[in-house]
Amino acid sequence: MTLGIDLVSPVGDKLDWECQELKAKFPRTKEDIPKVPKPQECLLLIDGEVVKSSQKPTNVQSPFVTQDHPDEHIVIGRFEMASEQQAMQALEAAERAYMYGRGVWAKMSMDERCKRMESFAADLERKTDDIAELLMWEIGKTAKDARSEVTRTVTYIRTAINEAKALVESESRWQEEKGIVCQIRHLPVGVVLASSPFNYPLNEAYTTFIPALLMGNSVIVRAPRNGATPHFPTLELFAKHFPRGTIQVLTGSGREIMGALVGTGRIDAVAFIGTASSAKGLLKGAPNPHRLRVMYEGEAKDAAILLPDADVSVAVDSCVSGMTSFNGQRCTAIKMIWVHQSQAEAFISQLANKIDSLVPGMPWDESVKITPLCEDTKPGYIRELITDALAKGAHIVNRTGGRCYRTLCTLSILAPVNKHMKVWSEEQFGPVTPVAIYSDLQEPIDWVSQSEYGLQCALFGYDEALLGRLVDALAYHVGRININAPDQRGPDVFPFTGRGNSALGILNATEALNFFSVPTMVAAKTDDERSVGALKALNGGDKCSVLFGAN
Ligand code: G3H
Per-residue pLDDT band for 539 (boundaries 50, 70, 90) equals: confident
User: How far, in Å, from the CA of 329 to the mean position of ligand 1?
Assistant: 9
Q: What is the pLDDT of residue 3?
A: 58
Give yes or no for residue 529 having a pLDDT over 70: yes
The verdict on the CB of residue 331 being under 6 Å from ligand 1 is: yes
Nearest protein CA to atom 7 of ligand 1, as residue = 488
Is residue 481 within 8 A of residue 459, CB to CB? The reply is yes
With residue 112 as reference, give the H or E element that holds it: helix 110-126
Per-residue pLDDT band for 551 (boundaries 50, 70, 90) equals: very low
The verdict on the CB of residue 200 being under 6 Å from ligand 1 is: yes
pLDDT digits (tens, 9 = 90+) for 332-371: 999 999 999 999 999 999 999 999 999 999 999 999 999 9
Name which of 295, 313, 318, 338 is nearest 443 in CA terms.
338
Q: What is the pLDDT of residue 544?
A: 87
Name which of 432, 347, 402 is nearest 9 in CA terms.
402
The verdict on the CB of residue 329 being under 6 Å from ligand 1 is: no
Angle, CA 330 vertex, CA 220 and CA 347 arms, to 5°: 170
The verdict on the CB of residue 141 being under 6 Å from ligand 1 is: no
Q: What is the pLDDT of residue 549?
A: 56
Is residue 517 within 8 A of residue 184, CB to CB? The reply is no
Closest ligand 1 atom to residue 496 Cα is 4
pTM, two decimal places: 0.96
User: How far, in Å, from the CA of 489 to the mean position of ligand 1?
Assistant: 5
The verdict on the CB of residue 199 being under 6 Å from ligand 1 is: yes
> Crossing angle of helices 442-450/464-474, nearest 10°?
20
> Crossing angle of helices 128-139/143-171, nearest 10°?
120
- The one-letter code for the residue type at 143 is A
Give yes or no for residue 55 having a pLDDT over 90: no
pLDDT digits (tens, 9 = 90+) for 460-472: 999 999 999 999 9
Half-sphere exposure of 116 (CA within 13 A, CB side): 21
Alpha helices in 325-460 (DSSP H): 341-356, 378-391, 422-425, 442-450
Compute the distance between CA of residue 122 and CA of residue 227 in angstroms, rounded to an integer. 22
Strand order in the sheet with 58-61: 40-41, 75-79, 58-61
> SS3 of 491, please?
coil
The verdict on the CB of residue 226 being under 6 Å from ligand 1 is: no
Percent of the chain with pLDDT over 90: 89
With residue 164 as reference, give the H or E element that holds it: helix 143-171
Q: What is the pLDDT of residue 39?
A: 77
pLDDT digits (tens, 9 = 90+) for 100-140: 999 999 999 999 999 999 999 999 999 999 999 999 999 99
Strands (E), 170-286: 175-177, 180-188, 191-195, 218-222, 247-250, 269-273
Compute the distance between CA of residue 345 and CA of residue 339 in angstroms, rounded to an integer. 9
